[in-house]
């Protein structure tokens, strides 16, 4: 049988960790070692392994993900039929979404990792890697953008969230549910997402810092004022309460911020659309949108920060283009 060519690129994370000298586990295993531990992979695909980074996922940077997206484009041009990225799970919900924003190919792309490191009983890395390759090798996964496969479940990168610190079932997509799952190694898709125009990659991204701040009870808005005074940021995402609500003081500070940078209104609830036309008091979503904030729609605060950062790095600060991108990525039809 002619098996599809799937390349596995490893970035580090728990799936690749072994005991270090300072007491805890640290990333040491290569992509070859990860592949060698799962002989069943050879029945699914012609697997190639490439060690790309060896980092805990908290150390990954936008530059790493941009370089990875460029490498994937190159490999796809050489005939690869699927990609699997292995990495730490702590930031998968951000890195997979960043990849998704930059990935404009039909070739299946799956990110996976492990919640239990290889030396623990019940280590989930090998099963997750096998499931990820099964999805990446499946023609049904073409054109779905970046997927996250963990615990035999298939999530869209744009909605997946890590919701537990240590359990193998830590991942879920609270905004709209998982896209599918695996049964006996076969991909079962329950839904598909609409296609979205990707961020147009620039060969020389500009540096851009986007702050992510939570709105809190009795918040006077001083954090936003301090941030503006620091002149260190190019954009801001505010995680407002409920459907997009803040205090009057914070609303004033956000209006000031929106005069000099894009300010995106997300919800700290972690699920559900930011509202647009329900509440009319000072600091409500209607008020904040009138003051110039951009709706994150269905994207949570962390993903909104990823999208805004990539837009600023690659496409610039045009407010119309930024608002349009948020509308598209949050599945928000006028």
For 35-50, give the DSSP string: HHT-GGGGGT-EEEEE
- Helix and strand numbers (H, E) in the chain are 9, 16
Contact flag: residue 309 with ligand ASP (CB under 6 A): no
Q: Tokens 């779905």 appear where?
A: 144
CA 300, CA 314: separation in Å to the nearest integer? Answer: 21
Binding-site string for ligand ASP from residue 115 to residue 134, where x marks contact by CB under 6 A and - marks none: x-------------------
- Answer yes or no: 7 catalytic: no
Nearer to ligand ASP, 13 or 244 (CB): 13
Contact letters for ligand ASP, residues 67-106 (x by CB under 6 A): ---------------------xxx----------------
Told to check if 301 binds ligand ASP by CB under 6 A, we report no
Beta-sheet strand order (sheet of 82-86): 46-55, 5-12, 82-86, 109-112, 146-150, 153-156, 180-183, 186-189
Taking CB positions, which residue lies at the least distance from ligand ASP? Answer: 88
Q: How many residues does the chain have?
A: 334
Q: Compute CA distances 15 → 23, 27, 264, 274, whole Å.
A: 17, 8, 34, 35
Which residue, 95 or 284, is less far from ligand ASP as judged by CB?
A: 95
Identify the DSSP state of 217. T
Catalytic residue among 14, 89, 112, 309: 14
For ligand ASP, the closer of residues 90 and 300 by Cβ is 90
Say whether 328 sits in a helix, a strand or coil.
helix
Q: Which of 4, 82, 108, 113 binds ligand ASP (CB under 6 A)?
A: 113
Contact letters for ligand ASP, residues 7-46 (x by CB under 6 A): ------xx--------------------------------
Does residue 145 contact residue 193 with C-beta atoms inside 8 Å? yes
Structure tokens, 279:
């509440």
Does the footprint of ligand ASP cover residue 57 (CB under 6 A)?
Answer: yes
The residues that touch ligand ASP, with contacts defined as CB under 6 A, are 13-14, 56-57, 88-90, 113, 115
- Residues catalogued as catalytic: 14
């Amino acid at each position: 049988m002619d098996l599809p060519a799937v390349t596995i690129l490893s970035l580090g994370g728990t799936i690749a960790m072994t005991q270090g000298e300072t007491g805890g586990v640290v990333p040491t295993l290569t992509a070859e070692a990860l592949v060698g531990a799962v002989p069943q992979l050879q029945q699914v695909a012609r697997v190639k392994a490439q060690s790309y980074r060896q980092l805990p996922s908290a150390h990954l940077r936008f530059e790493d993900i941009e370089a990875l997206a460029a490498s994937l484009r190159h490999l796809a041009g050489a005939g690869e039929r699927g990609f699997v990225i292995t990495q730490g799970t702590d930031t998968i919900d951000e890195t997979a979404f960043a990849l998704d924003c930059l990935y404009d190919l039909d070739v299946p792309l799956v990110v996976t990792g492990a919640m239990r490191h290889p030396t623990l009983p019940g280590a989930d890395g090998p099963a997750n890697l096998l499931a990820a390759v099964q999805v990446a090798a499946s023609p049904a996964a073409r054109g779905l953008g970046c997927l996250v496969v963990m615990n035999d479940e298939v999530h869209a990168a744009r909605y997946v969230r890590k919701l537990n610190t240590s359990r193998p079932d830590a991942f879920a997509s609270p905004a709209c549910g998982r896209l599918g799952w695996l049964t006996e190694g076969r991909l079962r898709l329950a839904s598909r997402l609409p296609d979205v125009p990707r961020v147009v990659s620039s060969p020389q991204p500009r540096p851009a810092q986007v702050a992510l701040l939570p709105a809190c009870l009795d918040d006077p808005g001083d954090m936003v004022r301090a941030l503006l005074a620091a002149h260190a940021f190019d954009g801001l995402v505010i995680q407002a309460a409920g459907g997009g609500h803040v205090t009057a003081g914070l609303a004033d500070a956000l209006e000031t911020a929106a005069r000099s940078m894009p300010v995106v209104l997300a919800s700290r609830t972690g699920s559900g659309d930011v509202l647009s036309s329900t509440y009319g008091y000072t600091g409500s979503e209607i008020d904040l949108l009138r003051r110039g904030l951009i709706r994150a729609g269905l994207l949570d605060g962390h993903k909104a920060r990823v999208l805004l950062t990539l837009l600023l790095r690659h496409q610039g600060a045009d407010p119309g283009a930024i608002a349009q991108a948020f509308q598209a990525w949050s599945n928000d039809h006028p």
